[in-house]
Amino acid sequence: MAPSEARLVRFTETGPASVLTIVTEPVEDPREGEVRLRVEAIGLNRAEVMFREGAYLEQPPLPSKIGYEAAGTIDAVGKNVDDFKIGDRVSTIPAFSMGQYGVYGERPVVPAAAVAKYPEKLSPREGTAIWMQYITAYGALIGIGRLSKGQSVIITAASSSVGIAAIQIAKNIGALVIATTRGASKAQMLLDAGADHVVQTDTENLEDRVSEITEGAGAHVIFDPIGGPILDQLAAAAAPGAQIIEYGALDSRPTPFPLFAALGKGLTIRGYTLFEITHDPDLLAKAKAFIYQGLETGDLVPLLDRTFAFDDVRQAHEYMESNQQFGKITLTLDGS
């Protein structure tokens, strides 16, 4: 039987990690089409840092909940939910508003359409490192980019959980992977994660290195969460007819449009979020099938970084902002 109260994270103003507060509130019952989870682990994403700062795609409705990914078991089911039952082991898919359904908590309620079972061989921590990263990378590389065997792809900020997922997916289909990182500290880790080449953008010229690697052809697909001035460099490194897929804004500086490169090469520069996939049942079903198959064969392996206790959520956010991580940062709850 669920407790009458549970802890969850809220914030009453936007700002640094210190605005995050753990509060105790009455446990909600799921409404029609919803389920409630007993959470064991929570996965952190850069989107949550931006949401907390008021710099995300949606503004937080203060006081706000937060969080996209959690893994646990279903402990209550609302009306007209036929696909799940109490006791099912599931993790959440980012397909909802964080302000309304944030999952940083012990007993969050979420839409039933935004949960999925995950393989028994995976731990709850690994269960939190599936949907955001693999759906984001799948939708961009496969759904939009149509990346195919023998083509080359540039993956920037490649040490993030999404970046590593993109490396795994690209290698699974036989593409040549060029990963970027700012310094030398993560270069070998990216090679170990499957990248064919690593460009250290603090010390190497991206256009020159990509030209060397691709024998002058350039990259067919570019997957970038950074934006800002690097877009000029990415356009210079692109092949004729390439697609540059922008899925984030880690660089807060203005993003110049590389007009002459776009004209001269016929480039497609496109904004993208995983919600294009998670809000479309047919596309989501295809993505899930691809991901389940990859998890089963071992071609897709969630890579975990540090874990923090739930009470240390502020420190976990600060660690993410330090950019030291390689893979998924997670929180675990008492008893998990």
- Same domain membership, residue 34 and residue 145: no
- Same domain membership, residue 86 and residue 47: yes
- Same domain membership, residue 251 and residue 195: yes
Q: For residue 117, tell me if it sits in a domain.
A: yes
**Domain stop point among 275, 293, 320:** 275
Which residues touch 293 (CB under 8 Å, ≥6 apart)?
Answer: none
- Same domain membership, residue 320 and residue 226: no
- Same domain membership, residue 237 and residue 142: yes
CATH number at residue 33: 3.90.180.10
- Same domain membership, residue 153 and residue 56: no
- Same domain membership, residue 271 and residue 160: yes
Q: For residue 173, tell me if it sits in a domain.
A: yes
Q: For residue 291, tell me if it sits in a domain.
A: no
- Same domain membership, residue 237 and residue 138: yes
Q: For residue 218, tell me if it sits in a domain.
A: yes
Name the residue among 43, 201, 218, 204 with its Cα closest to residue 132: 43
Residue type, 80: N
Q: For residue 189, tell me if it sits in a domain.
A: yes
The domain containing residue 235 runs over which residues? 132-275
- Same domain membership, residue 108 and residue 11: yes
Q: For residue 290, tell me if it sits in a domain.
A: no
Burial readout 131-170 (b: 16 or more C-beta within 10 A, e: otherwise): bbbbbbbbbbbbbbbebeeebbbbbbbbbbbbbbbbbbbb
Q: For residue 282, tell me if it sits in a domain.
A: no
Our count of domains for the chain comes to 2
Per-residue model confidence (pLDDT) at position 183: 80
Q: For residue 69, tell me if it sits in a domain.
A: yes
- Same domain membership, residue 193 and residue 103: no
Please give the chain's pLDDT, 336 residues, in tens. 678 999 999 999 999 999 999 999 999 999 999 999 999 999 999 999 999 999 999 999 999 999 999 999 999 999 999 999 999 999 999 999 999 999 999 999 999 999 999 999 999 999 999 999 999 999 999 999 999 999 999 999 999 999 999 999 999 999 999 999 988 889 999 999 999 999 999 999 999 999 999 999 999 999 999 999 999 999 999 999 999 999 999 998 999 999 999 999 999 999 999 999 999 999 999 999 999 999 999 999 999 999 999 999 999 999 999 999 999 999 999 644
- Same domain membership, residue 113 and residue 84: yes
- Same domain membership, residue 140 and residue 126: no
